[in-house]
């Protein structure tokens, strides 16, 4: 199978993760997918194949070179986002995209248009794999899975290409931030790795946000509104007051590049009790810490006016991998050169989000992120250019060659 055939097969598996189950993997479909991949890797002839009870699948393509060279790894995740259904995905290929609107679902009036998604113009003349407008596609990260396995298959069929040991891994629950939590770095036994989980062609990322979550709870007091003067404390109104105390322009819809933000992702409220849920993001650790302190400061201000009303709980989620990558920047140089060898222009940029690679880097496995090719992740407008997946596969092969050559 080529990379497209694999991808179209993989998106048939319903692998949405679910943060509410407290299981690993969080949904049974991920284990079903992992078991199918395990059989495929066995049929291909990979070695040291293991699938543990938590849905972490690992395997080795043994080296075919006499000298000792580093072991490089490639990683992709099994799950798709909980943001939209990944069940009964019905993809189709738009051949030789002409630059205009693509009707995804005429019945539902769903149109993929360059008016809303101008990046589509970058792929005129290419073949695009799109959804039917009723589910996400799953290129995040089944494109990455397909690219890694296709690259291993290619190397198996071309023994004239010299390489060292190559480790591959496919893990559950990346989309709910748990992909690296039970990843056994020691068992994986690679010197470094790359997650194939980026977006558009050429992306190469070794910086990501520092991330935390915050839950702010406001206690109120409910009294009959006709007799509430000087008695009622309306927690909804206080929560709203708190939310507008944060900087208006430091939100996702007003920031880009290295700019951090506060993002209100949830609101629950009655007069008696309200809860605001935030995520806090910044690439710079000092600014990240100041953002957390600002939330705590605002809670104190609320409690000065309404004693004992507000409480806050802040939890760090992950950190910027840059500090772990900078001492081994040669792994970035190798990825850049591999892209150039594959006629891909490297686009080094920060991740405005997180990645399993960030957590793995702090667990001792330096792990930058390489493009998988998809765009508009997590929704019905997701698409992936065929040529981008093919180039990502080529980049994997080129990395393996370069590691063997450099030793």
Half-sphere exposure of 13 (CA within 13 A, CB side): 24
DSSP conformational letter for 135: S
Give the separation between CA 174 and CA 318, rounded to whole angstroms. 13
Give the separation between CA 139 and CA 175, rounded to whole angstroms. 13
Answer whether 318's CB lies under 8 Å from 211's CB: yes
3-state secondary structure of 93: strand
Which structure tokens are listed for 294?
A: 């600002």
Answer whether 322's CB lies under 8 Å from 207's CB: yes
Of 142, 116, 118, give the one whose Cα is nearest residue 129.
Answer: 142
Give the separation between CA 137 and CA 94, rounded to whole angstroms. 14
Give the separation between CA 11 and CA 68, rounded to whole angstroms. 38
Give the separation between CA 194 and CA 141, rounded to whole angstroms. 13
Residue 192: which residues within 8 A CB-CB, separation 6 or more?
70, 72, 73, 328, 331, 365, 366, 367
Question: Residue 95, exposed/middle/buried by CB under 10 A (0-12, 13-18, 19+)?
Answer: exposed
How many other β-carbons are positioned within 10 Å of the β-carbon of residue 236?
A: 17
Give the separation between CA 332 and CA 15, rounded to whole angstroms. 31
Give the separation between CA 242 and CA 336, rounded to whole angstroms. 45
Question: Residue 271, exposed/middle/buried by CB under 10 A (0-12, 13-18, 19+)?
Answer: middle
Return the active site residues. 79, 174
């Amino acid at each position: 199978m080529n990379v497209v055939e694999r991808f179209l097969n993989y998106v048939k598996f319903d692998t949405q993760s679910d943060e509410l189950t407290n299981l690993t993997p969080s949904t049974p479909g991920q284990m079903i997918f992992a078991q199918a991949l395990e059989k495929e890797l066995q049929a291909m002839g990979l070695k040291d194949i293991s699938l543990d009870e938590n849905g972490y699948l690992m395997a080795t393509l043994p080296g075919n070179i006499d000298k000792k060279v580093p072991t490089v790894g490639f990683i992709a995740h099994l799950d798709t986002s909980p943001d939209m259904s990944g069940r009964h995905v019905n993809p189709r290929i738009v051949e030789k995209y002409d630059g205009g609107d693509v009707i995804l679902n005429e019945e539902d009036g769903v149109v993929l248009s360059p008016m809303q998604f101008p990046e589509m113009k970058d792929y005129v003349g290419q073949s695009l794999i799109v959804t039917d407008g009723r589910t996400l596609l799953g290129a995040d990260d089944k494109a990455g899975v397909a690219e890694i396995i296709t690259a291993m298959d290619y190397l198996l069929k071309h023994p004239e290409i010299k390489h060292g040991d190559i480790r591959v891994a496919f893990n559950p629950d990346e989309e709910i931030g748990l992909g690296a939590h039970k990843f056994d770095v020691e068992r994986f036994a690679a010197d470094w790795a790359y997650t194939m989980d980026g977006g558009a062609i050429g992306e190469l990322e070794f910086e990501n946000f520092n991330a935390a979550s915050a839950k702010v709870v406001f206690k109120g007091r409910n009294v009959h509104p006709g007799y509430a003067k000087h008695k009622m404390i309306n927690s909804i109104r206080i929560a709203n007051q708190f939310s507008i105390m944060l900087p208006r322009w430091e939100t996702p819809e007003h920031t880009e590049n290295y700019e951090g933000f506060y993002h209100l992702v949830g609101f629950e409220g009655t007069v008696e009790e309200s809860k605001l849920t935030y995520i806090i993001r910044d690439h710079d650790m000092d600014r990240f810490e100041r953002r957390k302190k600002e939330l705590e400061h605002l809670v104190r201000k609320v409690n000065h006016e309404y004693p004992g009303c507000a409480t806050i709980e802040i939890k760090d989620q992950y950190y910027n991998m840059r500090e772990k990558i900078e001492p081994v920047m040669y792994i970035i140089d190798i990825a850049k050169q591999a892209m150039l060898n594959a006629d891909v222009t490297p686009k080094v940029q920060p991740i405005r989000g997180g990645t399993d690679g960030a957590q793995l880097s702090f667990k001792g496995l330096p792990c930058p992120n390489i493009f998988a090719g998809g765009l508009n992740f997590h929704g019905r407008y997701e698409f992936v250019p065929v040529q981008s997946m093919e180039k990502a596969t080529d980049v994997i092969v080129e990395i393996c060659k370069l590691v063997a050559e450099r030793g």
